[in-house]
Structure 1
Amino acid sequence: MTTLLRFAPSPTGALHLGGLRTALFNHLYARKLGGKWILRIEDTDATRAVPGSVDGIREALNWAGLEYDYGPEKGGPHAPYFQSERLDLYHTHAKKLIESGHAYRCFCSPDRLAATRESLARVGSNATYDKACLNLTEEEVARRVRAGEKHIVRLNDSNLPHRSTPPDLIFGNVRDAHASLPTDPVLLKTDLFPTYHLASVVDDHSMGITHVLRGEEWLPSLPLHLDLYACLGLHPPEFAHLPLLLNPDGTKMSKRKGDVHVADFMKRGWEPEAVLNWLALAGWGVQHDHPASSPSGHASHGLFRSTWSAFKTAPSSTTVLTMSDMIRDFDLKALTHRRTVLDPAKLEILNKQHLARRWNTPDGLDELAGRAHGLIKDTPYTSQAYIKKVILALESRLTNLNALPAHGAFFFEDPDFTSSEARGMLKGVSSDDYQSSRQSAISTLTAVAVDDWEKVDFNLLLHEECQAAKIKSKTYMTTIRYALSGVKTGPSVPDIFRVLGRERSIHRLMSAPAFPERGV
């Protein structure tokens, strides 16, 4: 059977990092096994739907380079890919469950259900419903349905077939937590839309899903889903529940909290490869001893041996991985069982390295320069060739492309000599040494021919001039850096010369303040 996975978000808001990691792992696992994956929109709760969510999810996946094989806008053999367009399929399976005695219609009003829950809780019962509608006669049910009475369809948990609980591909053998489930869980709501439980089981079967990779939060629902497969006489897919990602403060990542939406990372200029690398390494690289097997009892073809299996220690959490690296080495058995905190500092490290990988290729540098163009104010110095020079000059300091205007502002506009940083640069430099250094540098650079500018060894040239002028090297270079940039740190003075060019470099030295105002 061809390996087929699915990423099934609900359109209740922007895609967050946890969702992106789930999509990534589905992508990696499918590609690792030579299979495909589906984007399926689980929109059965219209009250929670947020307009534009689906477009946002697709845009985020496209930005990350996670291309699904079938789904909205692409079509495929399993269409439609919106659950709201598959209602007849859910109704058919609900009817089958009713006819087999595994489900029944419940006509209890919301007020009666609430009162029943309170009454059961007062007597110390773990039940959440008293099964009042289970024993209605067929005639009574038919009459009330014909009369148009609102009702729901419940699973009959007192009539469940025997089944096993296959090992989870990550957690291994898990406890069958039936006790945590509500009494006779709802399968169809009064609006005739299915709950997640019925819809996901029916869709995973009808679409031919072989592996379900989803968040750990669905692990308590696994017994219910396995019950539904058994009641319908269907073979379940293999399940892998991904441990949750946590915010830096240790709280659960949620769409309702800031700084976790993928769109925010897109706007802030993070490289998609770095974000995926960061998410992939969060909790990846441990070893477990549990034997995992398929529901049939045979070793699962999905539990391949990967290169990580040979590692005695976990890979570094800042190891740079490309998409092909991740596909090659991904192993569900190497995921931690613990929830993992995402460390923003590690994203910065990875982003810097992925930026370097990109600007070290001609096409990559062109692409970065094109993106950076929109970040820069309207100045005469925004050509693609010029921006490429700026990126390369700033490379050791640039952790995020969006920071280019801040780190390299002096490349695009004249230095701000009134800033506190600029005023503090010349503390301890005498006025005579400042003037002598500036004039020496002007004379030296003026003597360099235009055609020789790119060939000159400025380090050697400035060192010789500094010695000839009998000025301390630190004083000499600080003066030049002050005149060129007005900032203490940044690219080397020779690199600034090469980016600015001969004319602008000399002009800045000549137009720098004759008697700089200094900080206290």
Structure 2
Amino acid sequence: MVIKHLPNKNLFQACRFKYRGIATSSNTPVLRFAPSPTGQLHLGGLRTALFNHLFARSLGGKWILRIEDTDQKRLVPGAVEAMQDILKWAGLDYDEGPDKPGNRGPYVQSERLHLYKGYYERLLRSGHAYRDFREPSKDGSSDIARDTYLPPGEDEAQEMIHKGKSFVVRFKTKEEDTSFDDAVYGHLKFPYDRRLEDPIIVKSDGWPTYHLANVVDDTEMGITHVFRGEEWLPSMPTHLKLYEALATAPPQFVHLPLLINPDGSKLSKRDAVVHVESYREAGYDPEALINFVALMGFNWHLPDSRSEVFSMEEMIAQFKLDRISQSRASPDVSKLRFLNKSHFSAKVEAASETDRIR
């Protein structure tokens, strides 16, 4: 991955958005927050949801809650409801979702399987994908190298399926470098790696992998901007080539820097300190916690102000893509305590002023 230059990110603030699923008018962004219900919502996820909210509200757009549950083995019962409850507590009111139906549903991937089937069959017909009947080895890879594997023709494949032979569907990767402009990291180039196998887009159980489901859903829902963690950058070549194969425009990608520990190591989702619920249980004010995550990886400092205490309305008014930092951030609980005290004091003062007027 090579960063060549940083484009003018203000260009991404006002462009025309049109996608295969739903056409959107000029300057009307549509975003999505797409967590997997495999556990509790963590600070990084809360920040992603917040940035979706701030960007959408700042430009009069919409953001959607989409549940990505294709990894059925890792589902945690009650996780979806818990996430919805946390978002409501935090004041992040998405416009559409499982409990707020609109014209972009269903909002849970397990309810969208018919869409994925239509798309992967389309890729099979166009020659951009193929059925792989090879037996996987112990490490999950195939015993026969990609360069030597000849997938069966349609008639032979149907005969093998009729006999109960299992298969996965692989995307036939175009053998060329990939480059794109990220709103945070600028122009990125990914050299083609011949050592990698063609990615699986449909598993042997018939369920799509993240790659296919993600591209199909963003296309069908008319998503214009995708906010997600920088850990997804290596997936960009596959995703962009899928968009190309499907002849549909990709959204603008906004990759956010990771949240890390003070020693530079990645925060573990298994650590209670990263779970939003633990802060709610400890009695922290939701506005203070939102203010806290907003400070991580974003430059809020204006020339005429050094304050780090912001209301939701102030953050919406100031949010711009070109102020998202490339630098990774580490949660500082002492900062959260300061913000909690400041927001609490402001509420007490506001209540006192209201009583005085009465």
Whether the TM-score (by the shorter chain) exceeds 0.5 is: yes
Residue-by-residue CA offset, 1:38-63 (whole Å, 9 max, x unaligned):
00000001001111110111111011
Q: Does 1:183 align with 2:197?
A: yes
One-letter amino acid of the counterpart of residue 354, structure 1? H
Q: Does 1:257 align with 2:246?
A: no
In the alignment, the residues of structure 2 paired with residue 364 and residue 74 of structure 1 have an alpha-carbon distance, to the nearest angstrom, of 36
More strand by share: 2
What is the aligned partner in structure 2 of residue 412 from structure 1?
none
Q: Give TM-score, length-normalised by structure 2.
A: 0.86
Aligned pair partner of 1:146 in 157, 162, 182: 162
Q: Give TM-score, length-normalised by structure 1.
A: 0.60
Residue-by-residue CA offset, 1:445-485 (whole Å, 9 max, x unaligned):
xxxxxxxxxxxxxxxxxxxxxxxxxxxxxxxxxxxxxxxxx
* Counterparts of residues 111-122 of structure 1 (less than 5 Å): 111=137, 114=140, 116=142
One-letter amino acid of the counterpart of residue 24, structure 1? L
What is the aligned partner in structure 1 of residue 322 from structure 2?
333
In the alignment, the residues of structure 2 paired with residue 114 and residue 27 of structure 1 have an alpha-carbon distance, to the nearest angstrom, of 39
What is the aligned partner in structure 2 of residue 16 from structure 1?
42
One-letter amino acid of the counterpart of residue 150, structure 1? S
In the alignment, the residues of structure 1 paired with residue 257 and residue 195 of structure 2 have an alpha-carbon distance, to the nearest angstrom, of 20
**Count of residues in correspondence between the two structures:** 329
In the alignment, the residues of structure 2 paired with residue 183 and residue 164 of structure 1 have an alpha-carbon distance, to the nearest angstrom, of 16
Higher relative contact order (CA 8 A, sep 6+): 2
Cα displacement (A) at 1:252? 1.3
In the alignment, the residues of structure 2 paired with residue 115 and residue 276 of structure 1 have an alpha-carbon distance, to the nearest angstrom, of 42
Contact 1:16 1:254 in 2 (8 A): no
- Seen in structure 2, the aligned counterparts of structure 1 residues 213 and 114 have a Cα distance that, compared at 3 Å, is closer
One-letter amino acid of the counterpart of residue 70, structure 2? T
In the alignment, the residues of structure 1 paired with residue 192 and residue 225 of structure 2 have an alpha-carbon distance, to the nearest angstrom, of 22
* Counterparts of residues 51-62 of structure 1 (less than 5 Å): 51-62=77-88
In the alignment, the residues of structure 2 paired with residue 153 and residue 252 of structure 1 have an alpha-carbon distance, to the nearest angstrom, of 33
**Structure 2: runs of 5+ lacking an equivalent:** 1-24
One-letter amino acid of the counterpart of residue 338, structure 1? S
Q: Does 1:203 align with 2:229?
A: no
* Counterparts of residues 96-495 of structure 1 (less than 5 Å): 96-111=122-137, 114=140, 116=142, 129-131=145-147, 133-157=149-173, 159=174, 165-179=179-193, 182-285=196-299, 311=302, 316=306, 319-362=308-351
> Secondary structure of 2:87's partner?
helix
In the alignment, the residues of structure 2 paired with residue 64 and residue 364 of structure 1 have an alpha-carbon distance, to the nearest angstrom, of 25
More helix by share: 1
In the alignment, the residues of structure 2 paired with residue 249 and residue 364 of structure 1 have an alpha-carbon distance, to the nearest angstrom, of 44
One-letter amino acid of the counterpart of residue 176, structure 1? F
In the alignment, the residues of structure 2 paired with residue 217 and residue 184 of structure 1 have an alpha-carbon distance, to the nearest angstrom, of 20
What is the aligned partner in structure 2 of residue 91 from structure 1?
117
- Seen in structure 2, the aligned counterparts of structure 1 residues 353 and 365 have a Cα distance that, compared at 3 Å, is farther
Tell me how large the CA RMSD over aligned residues is.
Answer: 2.4
In the alignment, the residues of structure 2 paired with residue 272 and residue 364 of structure 1 have an alpha-carbon distance, to the nearest angstrom, of 22
Residue-by-residue CA offset, 1:318-368 (whole Å, 9 max, x unaligned):
6110001101111221122121111111111111100001111229999xx
In the alignment, the residues of structure 2 paired with residue 205 and residue 357 of structure 1 have an alpha-carbon distance, to the nearest angstrom, of 43
Aligned pair partner of 1:49 in 75, 79, 82: 75
**Structure 1: runs of 5+ lacking an equivalent:** 120-128, 287-307, 367-520
> Secondary structure of 2:180's partner?
coil
Aligned pair partner of 2:56 in 16, 23, 30: 30
What is the aligned partner in structure 1 of residue 94 from structure 2?
68
In the alignment, the residues of structure 2 paired with residue 248 and residue 62 of structure 1 have an alpha-carbon distance, to the nearest angstrom, of 30
- Seen in structure 2, the aligned counterparts of structure 1 residues 188 and 354 have a Cα distance that, compared at 3 Å, is same
> Secondary structure of 2:106's partner?
coil
What is the aligned partner in structure 2 of residue 506 from structure 1?
none
In the alignment, the residues of structure 2 paired with residue 37 and residue 91 of structure 1 have an alpha-carbon distance, to the nearest angstrom, of 26
In the alignment, the residues of structure 2 paired with residue 269 and residue 74 of structure 1 have an alpha-carbon distance, to the nearest angstrom, of 28
Contact 2:201 2:208 in 1 (8 A): yes
- Seen in structure 2, the aligned counterparts of structure 1 residues 115 and 96 have a Cα distance that, compared at 3 Å, is closer
- Seen in structure 2, the aligned counterparts of structure 1 residues 181 and 327 have a Cα distance that, compared at 3 Å, is farther
Residue-by-residue CA offset, 1:149-205 (whole Å, 9 max, x unaligned):
111100111x46x89733101111112254398310000001111111100100000
Contact 1:107 1:133 in 2 (8 A): no
